[in-house]
Amino acid sequence: MATRRPTRPTRQSDIEVVNEDNKKKFSFSDLKKAGEFFQDERVQLVCGILLAALTLYLFISFISFFFTGSADFSLMEQPHENSRALRHDIQNWGGLEGARISRFFIDSSFGIASIAILVFMSLWSVRLIYHEFSFRGWRLFFCSAFWLIWGSLILGFVQQWTGIDSFFRWGGRHGETLSLWLTSYIQIIGVLILLIAGTFIFFVCIDKNTIPNLLRFEIWVKSLFKKKEKPTEIDNPEAPEDPETPDINEEDPQDNPDIVVIPDNTGDDNFTIRVGGEDDPETEPDEPAADTEPETLPHQPDSPVSDPELDINETEETELSEDDPEYLLKKLGPYDPRLDLSNFKAPSLSLLKTYDNETRPVIDAEEQQENKQRIIQAFRNFGIEIVSISATVGPTVTLYEIVPKEGVKIARITSLENDIMMSIAAKGIRIIAPMPGKGTVGIEVPNKKPQIVSMHSVVASRKFQEDQKMRLPVVLGKTITNEVFMFDLAKAPHLLVAGATGQGKSVALNAIITSLLYKKHPAELKMVLVDPKMVEFSIYEPLRRHYMAAMPDYDPTEDKIIITDCAKVINTLNSLVIEMEERYTLLMDARVRNLEDYNEKFVNRRLNPEKEVKDKAGKVLHHRFLPYIVIVIDEYGDFIMQAGKEVERPIARITQKARAVGMHMILATQRPEVKIVTGLIKSNIPTRIALRTQSVIDSRTVLDAKGAEGLTGKGDMLYAANAELTRIQCAFVDTPEVEQIVDYISAQQSYSLPYQLPEYVGEDGGEGEALAPGSVDLKKLDPMFKDIATYVVSKQEGSTSKLQRAFEIGYNRAGKLTDQLEAAGIVGPNKGPKGRDVLVQDLGELAQILESLGVR
């Protein structure tokens, strides 16, 4: 007969809870074991470390939210093809999950008050790790919960009250909703009273010393308004005796407080009496003997008097004159040239393409062994034995270093260079005999499968990212030993890039410009780009208000910032010469020798920007922060062929003198001929880059050495500086990458105008200087002066470029005519892209001016 299952468990010490299938059982003893498990010190230590790590992660994500939350909001709200793309674009320091968590807590929950959760977690983790750090858990929980809820309400009310707009809710959704609900019932004043009262009640409940502290505060406030009583002088024999004062001689000594007689500093016979009790730590009760009566004091004050307080008079701080640089530095702080574009961000590395195996070249062991045997056999064919051979594999070229047998002369190896190259039967071989600083002979052999050196691999390298010493850092590519190659353009100080057509010259120039864009702020760098082909640098046109410099008459609605015309090249180069001379004038007035020292002085407010400094022509200059200026001229040989000395002369002056004032020139040509790369230019440009050339003569013209004719092309180059040649594979940056970088920069806040160069007006097509108002001879006016003046007054436009287009005259002549109009009072001074103001309003007034000038 089947027995009936009991409806309740059998009573025993451990009460069992039976589930439906009666297989799994749970008892209170299991709870006890679990409690013992979590009481173990090792378990608590591990839990504490994990909790601390989680707290740190949340803290980093929360902090990042205030800087990157706005951008992450828009990213998370936009549709993405996959989560991987979203994780890549998120800017929060804690990644995608950090952005989501911080948004949930700060914007969607309790706002900034969510930090109370982190405080609770951090203190609890410390308690788990350090057992000596103990506190009441319920007290911590209550405090954290109160500030989480109450702080959210306060922040939501403050944001509602002030009306400040923000991309997130200060009090989260909780604070915003609750503050709006309360305001609708009790208005702003009621909510404010409620918040103050709630905060007061919290401190009363949480701290028993709150009320005593408030009472002490009340007593202190009353004492500020209470009149202090003067101490009673006890040496006055005529002072009446206080009837209420007990006679010390008649009282029991044990019933009286101790009397301490303290000498007063005001005189020999004056004393101040302080009455001490049991609470005075400095006085000990003195029990007088039974047969000894206490000493009778001659006088006793009516009330006890405290010691006089010492008042310390504050000395006045020495005031500095407002003209003193230290005063300005202390009051305003150092000058920040980046302040106008303080939110500018350098381009992201994600804008550059990545390639497979871009950090380390692929080694083909079979190819290396094959080349080794060829080299050994080639040397043996000419009776040269090799002691050892080693290979260093680079991305495009492998360097084989050999040690010949003792007694073999290096001159013998160099004389057989062409024969050895033919025996090895490889394209683009270069023999270095001997290797600089080594006792070996180097043979550079191109790899059969060269790798692409990406711009990402060199820009993202630690060497480039962490460099702080170079002022104009340029990362070119990688050497044959796979090392990232960098140089400082500020120390170069100018650069010549030459090579045959299609060998990678334009890519090299783009790599140089990209390096500067990744490292320099727009306030620190300006560029002048000259491109006769009209297609190489046009991609940088959107950067005109960030990084570009232009002539004063530049009109952004009509003119291109990239210079393509030969006449404008001449004017711009001469304008740069004037800029150079003006900078030297400022450096001389500042008593410094280079741009770095000048800018350091200006940043530390040791130069007065309101001070007038006059140059040789009498033009008034003012001290200002001077950015670096990099002039890049692609295919300058075309301009040399067109204008000759008019182009070469200002280039020579800039390369001779402009280094100290932060102006650096990069010249590129695909025709490295003696007529183009003249001795005058080479003598002032010691740093040169040669891509593959068509002949040994061209290589010697550029590098003063052979070798460039044997390069493999496609960015394979030789870098010459300090009498050393370094073989480099130029980093590849294609047009889409440059476009993304330009779009990223141009989308950010910019200056209203490009950096303005000084105005240049040539004399008879030659080199000229900026003319100051009043220096024009009105007795020698241009024959077209009347027609130009009539046009300007009738059209109310006084721009030099518009005169040049309207009358089809050269820029120099149009500039001279504009200065004559200014000297005659017809137009005002130059105002940059806005043109000149026309001062004469009608033709009748113009006729009177022309008559006074004798113009008919």
C-alpha 422/C-alpha 531 separation (Å) is: 40
> Mean of the pLDDT values across residues 257-273?
41
Backbone angles phi, psi at 633, to 5 degrees: -120, 110
Bond from prior residue into 308 cis (ω within 30 degrees of 0)? no
By DSSP bridging, strand 628-634 and strand 525-530 are parallel
pLDDT-derived band at 293 (thresholds 50, 70, 90) equals very low
Average of per-residue pLDDT across 297-315: 57
Question: Distances in Å between the alpha carbon of 246 and those of 256, 303, 318, 338?
Answer: 10, 12, 57, 80
**Side chain identity, residue 245:** T
Q: What is the number of other CB atoms lying within 10 angstroms of the CB of residue 224?
A: 6
**Residue 840 binned pLDDT confidence (cut-offs 50, 70, 90):** confident
With a cut of 50, say whether residue 434 has pLDDT above it. yes
Average pLDDT of the chain, as a whole number: 79
Strand partners, 445: 398
Contacts of 194 (CB under 8 A, 6+ apart): 182, 186
Looking at residue 546, its pLDDT comes to 95
The mean pLDDT of 275-287, rounded to a whole number, is 40
Token pair for 233: 């002088």
Tell me the sheet residues that pair with 263.
271
pTM of the model as a whole:
0.56
Classify residue 526 by burial, with Cβ atoms within 10 Å: 0-12, 13-18, 19+.
buried
Would you say residue 820 has pLDDT above 90?
Answer: no
- pLDDT at 708 exceeding the cut of 60: yes
- Tell whether the model's pLDDT for residue 421 goes beyond 80: no
* Mean pLDDT score, 250-276: 41
Q: Residue 442: what are its φ and ψ, rounded to 5°?
A: -105, 140
Write the single-letter amino acid at 600. Answer: E
Residues 6+ apart with CB under 8 A from 129: 44, 45, 48, 49, 52
Higher pLDDT, 820 or 287: 820
Of 741, 731, 834, 849, nearest to 788 by C-alpha is: 849
Rounded to the nearest 10 degrees, what angle do helices 811-823 and 785-795 cross at?
70
Please report the pLDDT score of residue 830 as a whole number. Answer: 76
Residue-wise pLDDT tens digits, 754-784:
999 998 876 443 334 443 434 566 777 888 8
* pLDDT > 90 fraction of the chain, expressed in percent and rounded: 25
Check residue 320 and give its pLDDT: 52
CA distances from 643 to 573, 609, 676 (A): 12, 39, 12
At residue 323, φ and ψ (nearest 5 deg) are -85, -10
Please give the distance of CA 560 from its chain centroid, rounded to a whole number.
Answer: 30
pLDDT of residue 775: 54
CB atoms inside a 10 Å sphere around CB 165: 6
Per residue in 130-177, pLDDT tens?
A: 765 556 667 778 888 888 888 888 888 888 887 777 778 888 888 888
Q: Burial, 820: exposed, middle or buried (Cβ in 10 Å; 0-12, 13-18, 19+)?
A: buried
Distance between start and end Cα atoms, the chain: 141
Instruction: Show the CA angle centred on residue 140, arms to residues 139 and 142, nearest 5°.
Output: 65
Residue 484 predicted with pLDDT over 90 = yes
C-alpha span between 566 and 563 (Å, rounded): 8
CB contact set of 773 (below 8 Å; sequence gap of 6+): 822, 823, 829
- Write phi, then psi, for 60 (nearest 5 degrees): -65, -40
Predicted pLDDT at 328: 61
